[in-house]
Amino acid sequence: MRELLRLLAEDASGSELARVAGEDAVARDLALRIRAGIDASKKREAELSALVEVARELASARDPSGVLDTIVHRARTLIGTDVAYLTLYDEAQDDTYMRATDGSVSAAFQQLRVPSGDGLGGLVASTRRPYWTTDYPSDQRFRHTGPIDHAVGDEGLVAICGTPLLVDEEFVGVLFASNRTARPFSREEVLLLGSLAALAAVTILQLRAAASTAAALDQLSVAHAGVEHAAAAHDRFAGIVLSGGDVDAVAAALAELLGVWVVLVDAAGHELAVSGRVSTTVVPWQESESGRLTRSGDCWVVAVTAKRERLGALVIGGVDELSAADQRIVERAAVVTALVLLFRRQAAEQSLRAQADLLTDVLSGAGDLSALTERLRLLAPGRVHDRLVVAVCRGDHTGVLARLSAPLADKVVLSGAYGGDLVLLLARTDAVTAARGLSEVAKRCGVTVAVTGPAKWGEPLVDAHRQASRLAGTMLRLGRCNESGTPDDLGVAGLIGAAEVDVAAHVQHLIGAVIAYDAQRGTDLLGTLHAYFAAGQSPTRAANELHIHPNTVQQRLDRVSALLGADWQTPERGLNIQVALRLHQAIRAQ
């Protein structure tokens, strides 16, 4: 068995493991299962790395045809098939047409159009769901037609897997991986092809939007009476879109081009970008209801919309009049702003999905630690930290991330759903500070937040999450709903649920204020508390025990209330304080 473990550690092959195991069938089976798990983990890491690389290639691409060629080449390479190809949707004809291929040799196949519902590709297009087959020519699940069967036969394809290119509800086309011999497609291969399709769909729509914006700006340039002014607007806005600029750049460009101040607000009226010296404290953004620029008091307002969704408004001021041409520039700036906001939303959604995947792998203990760290560096450059605080948000956590304060949101390294909870990993803070910062969010969102740590990246972080998960359950059982807390906040219950206990920190958390007061003033409030609890919380009996007047005891208890809070004598807190007093006594006796 020791030799088998050594071989596993040295990444030995399955045949070598089987040879060493010899006649021990149980050991051989266990070793081979472990070897298979390691191989699967490595394969998944390689696939994720490849997807990150594909995303980089697509993000840097500017030529639509180059993007499509990259997609099909990557699909063929990653899935390991003979041919990969991509069709785009033609809404006017309700069919898809061949747009890019890799490994294809048939001219007829490269010119194929597939009506919705016909063949495997038509079924994918009509249902918006992936389909695959080991042997397409003989598979009767699909509607076979002469043109499709002829093209597929001319290319010699047998096994085909197709998955839709979708962004929200918008259908873009179909991505295929196919083989010239029969072969099955595993669930992992179908999911991998789906991930490639998702990246492809977003990139294609972004390039289309950029091209549409460029075309709109070209029209603006022609219509503008001042050619140089229009050309400057065209160059600035097109440059912002193509270079991945943010809304601050759009506002700054518009302010400079027209000599105005600009304020961009979101749909709730919150400022997203400001450029120039704003001359009014009232931003009448609510009055803009269309894509046309309108006058509102001393300002000009235009709505920022996309797909009938209101994203916000651009407010212009600092100028008495705007020419018709300049008004068109402002309206085009609103179109560009909507496009940039949509890009930012899509990027945020992709980042959240990638964070959730990484968080799942980290908290489940799956994957190599160094590989997980490298993925974190790619997702959040400069935000890799040795020790992280874990916050588990239990309940309906849909609005938690949106309500985090700016200082707290800046500390979030990773976030995502795990085990039905929302889990936040925070850096540059401690559990008490994080719990305090999350308390208002817990009340407003109606969630229970358990906070533990900080813990080191790796297994300690996994343990900290388990403790936080147990703590959240304990808080709910104790009726501590819609609150945030640490194990120390639960007193004895928190100690029971903890895997490890820092006794000194626990004591400091509960009665540290009293300990510090005695040390600074030379008083003995701790002794008074011991006597008070020993006397059944009777000030008179405690006074007899201490040989002082009852009024003196009451004065000392009032001071304790000022230090610990007025509720320190409630049954729950009173029990926790008594335990802390005993623990403090034990620490001093050591």
- Identity of the highest mean pLDDT range in 83-87, 493-497, 579-583: 83-87
* Average of per-residue pLDDT across 360-377: 73
Separation in Å, CA 188 to CA 47, 48, 117, 195: 10, 12, 26, 11
Could you say which architecture CATH assigns to the domain 504-589? Orthogonal Bundle (1.10)
**CB proximity list for 156: less than 8 A, separation 6 or greater:** 106, 180
Domain covering 62-197 assigned CATH 3.30.450.40 in the classification:
yes
pLDDT of the residue at 52: 46
pLDDT of the residue at 192: 83
pLDDT of the residue at 400: 85
At 48, the pLDDT band (50, 70, 90 cuts) reads: very low
Assigned CATH topology for domain 385-495: Alpha-Beta Plaits (3.30.70)
The pLDDT tens digits of the residues spanning 556-577 come to 888 888 888 888 888 777 777 7
Every domain range in the chain assigned CATH 1.10.10.2840: 504-589
Distance in angstroms (rounded) separating the CA atoms of residues 151 and 112: 7
pLDDT of the residue at 105: 92
* Token code pair at residue 469: 């998960």
pLDDT of the residue at 51: 47
Every domain range in the chain assigned CATH 3.30.450.40: 62-197, 224-346
Domain spanning 224-346, CATH class: alpha beta
pLDDT of the residue at 257: 77
Beta bridge partners of 484: 449
pLDDT at 132 over 80: yes
* Average of per-residue pLDDT across 119-146: 94
The pLDDT tens digits of the residues spanning 302-344 come to 887 776 677 778 787 877 787 777 777 777 777 777 777 777 6
- Identity of the highest mean pLDDT range in 52-61, 335-344, 458-467: 458-467
pLDDT of the residue at 101: 93
pLDDT of the residue at 384: 61
> In 70-179, where do the E strands start and end?
83-90, 95-102, 113-115, 131-133, 159-167, 170-179
pTM of the model: 0.38
Q: Is 448 helix (H, G, I), strand (E, B) or coil?
A: strand
* Average of per-residue pLDDT across 439-443: 89
Between 85 and 45, the more confident residue is: 85
At 291, the pLDDT band (50, 70, 90 cuts) reads: low
At 225, the pLDDT band (50, 70, 90 cuts) reads: very low
* Average of per-residue pLDDT across 236-261: 74
Query: For the ranges 153-157, 243-247, 311-315, 467-471, which has the lowest average pLDDT?
Result: 243-247
pLDDT of the residue at 572: 72
Query: For the ranges 142-156, 352-366, 521-535, which has the lowest average pLDDT?
Result: 352-366
pLDDT of the residue at 28: 56
Q: Is 131 helix (H, G, I), strand (E, B) or coil?
A: strand
Q: Considering Cα of 341, then 342, then 344, then 348, what sign does the dihedral take? A: positive
Every domain range in the chain assigned CATH 3.30.70.270: 385-495
The pLDDT tens digits of the residues spanning 486-514 come to 887 766 555 555 555 566 776 777 788 88
Between 172 and 514, the more confident residue is: 172
At 590, the pLDDT band (50, 70, 90 cuts) reads: low
* Token code pair at residue 472: 């959240």
